[in-house]
Amino acid sequence: MKLIKINILALFVIIMISSCKKEFLDRPPLSQITTDNFYKSTSDLRLASAAIYAQPWFDYNYFPYLGIGDVLSGNIIQPYNSSLVQFTSFSVTSTNEYNVNTWRCFYKIVAHCNVNIKAITTVVPDSVPAKNKNAALGEFKFLRATAYFLLAQTWGDVPIIEDNAKLIANPLLPRNKLSDVYKFIINDLRFASNSLPSRDQAGRVTTWSAQGMLAKVYLTRAGLGQNITRTQSDLDSAAYFAGNVCNKSGLSLLPSYYNLFRTQYNDNPESLFAFQWAAGVGYGNGNAIQAQFAPDGSLVTGGGGWGGAIGPSYDLYNQYTPQDSIRRKATFMLTGDKYPELNNAGGGYKATGVNIKKHVVGTATDNNAPTMDTWSSTEHNTLLRLADVYLVYAEAILGNNASTSDGQALKYFNLVRTRAGVDPVNSLTPAIIRKERRVELAFEGQYWFDIVRLSYYDMNSAISLLNNQVRKQFSYSPGTGVATVSTTNNINVTPANATTFRLPLPASEVTVNPKLLDAPVPYY
């Protein structure tokens, strides 16, 4: 495939380190990097792995992270960006820029990881302890598995590539069967869970990161190819690995849900995997979510703040009870809401409309980050946090049952609710868990993948869920507390069907690799 051939030219992934935070690494001069002089020590391995925690993910993070996870799922409405409108209306094309860029981004991650995995297994000297080699391999395999997990959930059957040299020799590859893609992901994460330490520098993944991600993968695979009843052995594995994180890690939820999304709490113990963005690195290298989604230029250093027309859907708004005000206010603004930490020098920010709050962290002054620019928010947004694993644990224990009052499932499920200031529940059903995940993880790129997981074993329910949403914007009156569905800027939504749950293969990739259109083949 063209994308990997391009990425192989960047043979040494260390050239991507420009956006990693300073405490992660000191950058070696690029002119001095070769396979002969770089992979010589544990510190070299740490530099190489640190490079894959930020900039290579840019093309996914800047729009598709929310575009796929929250626009496509019906959580966010963006009525003016034509590419995101396609996500709302279930009309994503093979040339949609975010569809194309996300595919390339994930395979770029795969390519970088493959380069380093091969180098570690072939050129690292015996003077580097085996434990340290394996820990580095564990990081790369975790990152590669995460990219493949996102690929699998987004496009289904995709090519498995673990040797870039073989790809260069034979660039025309077919897709592999989705069941084999999941097997590959699980193999990588099992290695990572056995090789990564239980504690590490803040921001780096650990065995608990790998086991938490492994639990999500097993929970997802449990429904693959099934009809209503999921595979019990995979549910058991999901419960086992999530249970390890819950009961053995010693980790706990950050006491304040609101603080999870403030930069001074970056990489807190609840964060199991987060992108390690740095400030002052410019467009294409940093976290640009705030620039695109903040509702006002006063909230973004150097301008930006083009999110005035972007906000939660009326459907998402209706998921929050009045008691659930902490999570709601941390996730989206309602007209009249006050945020003293935003534009602090100007006396705070008062919302003038219904807009996104999560990921909007304010200016350089607000964050004590002098180098922060328009395109480089200092927020380390997460792809996996402990509350997510708690909810995975509850869902895995519920399994194929219509309801459960299992003590362990309720314990961790209710820890998520009580942290948010809402009442605990006495029993769990699939609908209760799905709604809790939607509210807890809204605008964190997760809800679409929850719906995809449902579609694996209950397609009709997944289709019905999407088709019964109110995918419209709304206004809010702080005086009356009434939300009113908008009658303008509404998007014509094509009814969802079984094809909705996989994005189309990018046309540019099919052009250079027509074998992508062939029937998927086994990998193992």
- Distance, in Å, from the CA atom of 395 to the CA atom of 410, rounded to the nearest integer, reads 10
Angular region, 348: left φ>0, alpha ψ -120 to 50, beta rest? left
Report the candidate in 243, 142, 225 with the shortest Cα–Cα distance to residue 185: 142
* CB distance 281 to 19 below 8 Å: yes
Query: How far, in Å, CA of 66 to CA of 86, rounded?
Result: 13
Going by C-beta distance under 8 Å and a sequence separation of 6 or more, which residues neighbour residue 8? 111, 115, 164, 167, 168
Cα 404 to chain centroid distance, Å, stands at 29
Q: pTM of the entire structure?
A: 0.94
pLDDT of residue 488: 87
Sequence-ordered list of residues with C-beta below 8 angstroms from that of 482, at least 6 positions apart, any chain: 476
Q: What is the pLDDT of residue 490?
A: 87
Distance of CA 117 to the CA centre of its chain: 23
The per-residue pLDDT string of the chain (524 residues; one tens digit each, 9 = 90 and over) reads 333 333 333 333 333 333 344 444 333 343 444 566 789 999 999 999 999 999 999 999 999 999 999 999 999 999 999 999 999 999 999 999 999 999 999 999 999 999 999 999 999 999 999 999 999 999 999 999 999 999 999 999 999 999 999 888 889 999 999 999 999 999 999 999 999 999 999 999 999 999 999 999 999 999 999 999 999 999 999 999 999 999 999 999 999 999 999 999 999 999 999 999 999 999 999 999 999 999 999 999 998 999 999 999 999 999 999 999 999 999 999 999 999 999 999 999 999 999 999 999 999 999 999 999 999 999 999 999 999 999 999 999 999 999 999 999 999 999 999 999 999 999 999 999 999 999 999 999 999 999 999 999 999 999 999 999 999 999 999 999 999 999 988 899 999 999 999 999 999 999 999 999 999 999 99
CA dist 219 and 111 (Å) reads 27
- Token pair listed for 459: 């397609």
Supply the DSSP symbol for 81.
Answer: -
Identity of the residue numbered 282: G
Q: Which residues pair with 168 in a beta bridge?
A: none
At residue 411, the pLDDT reads 98
Residue 172 and residue 109 in contact, taking contact as beta carbons nearer than 8 Å: no
Dump the DSSP string for 417-450: HHHTT----S-B-HHHHHHHHHHHTTTTT-HHHH
CB distance 453 to 220 below 8 Å: yes
How far is 124 from 42, CA to CA, in rounded Å? 9
One DSSP character per residue, 250-282 reads: -----S-TGGGGSGGGTT-TTEEEE----SS--
- Quickly list DSSP for 168-214: HH----PPBPHHHHHHHHHHHHHHHHHHS-SS-STTS--HHHHHHHH
The kind and range of the H/E element at 475 are strand 474-477
- Quote the tokens at residue 301: 């250093």
Task: Write down the domain spans for the chain.
Answer: 295-379
Long-range contacts: 83-89, Cβ < 8 Å, 24+? 85/491, 88/471, 88/491, 88/493, 89/491, 89/492, 89/493, 89/494
**Closest alpha carbon to 13 in 45, 52, 71, 39:** 52
- pLDDT for res 34: 58
